[in-house]
Amino acid sequence: MENILITGGAGFIGSHVLRLFVNTYPDSNIINLDNLTYAGNLLNLTDIENKSNYRFVKADIVDGDQVFSLFEQYGIDTVVHLAAESHVDRSIVNPMAFVHTNVLGTVNLLNAARHFWAGTGKTHRFYHISTDEVYGSLGEEGLFTEETPYDPRSPY
């Protein structure tokens, strides 16, 4: 059985992704890791909260020990990383919250994946989906690819 960790699953986009995974992959364990900050709302998930393949964990990806513990407890095979600080207005008021969540939190997830997946011989996947606050603006033309570098910025 596959164990899929989805971060930020109580947010607007995350709840739609989470619902899709829970309903599409009934033979997989779907673990929703969300810190329930201003953007997270468990009411977004009432239709799946009692599904047998769904688990909710309230935790912060900035806490590396919690992240490692989740990988160990659930045997995470796949990460769909959606958790991020993404409101530009908030980045002006408190830029360190963005650094902690978007950089340190992502590094904690990557470190846990590297630690638990190294040498297993299994195929693992790590998807990082985010906003222009993390990836930057594309411009008038072009496409983002796997090789596109991070280019965090605020238009203000």
Which DSSP string corresponds to 49-78? Answer: TT-TTEEEEE--TT-HHHHHHHHHHHT--E
What is the pTM for the complete model shown?
Answer: 0.86
For the chain, the domains span 3-135
Task: Write out the catalytic residue numbers.
Answer: 132-133, 156
Pick the CATH number of 3-135 from 3.40.1080.10, 3.40.50.720, 3.40.50.2000, 3.40.50.10680: 3.40.50.720
**Quick one: pLDDT at residue 109?**
96
- Sequential pLDDT tens for the chain (156 residues): 899 999 999 998 899 999 999 999 999 999 999 999 877 899 999 999 999 999 999 999 999 999 999 999 999 999 999 987 765 566 667 767 777 777 899 999 999 999 999 999 999 999 988 766 667 777 777 777 778 777 766 555
pLDDT at residue 57 in the model: 97
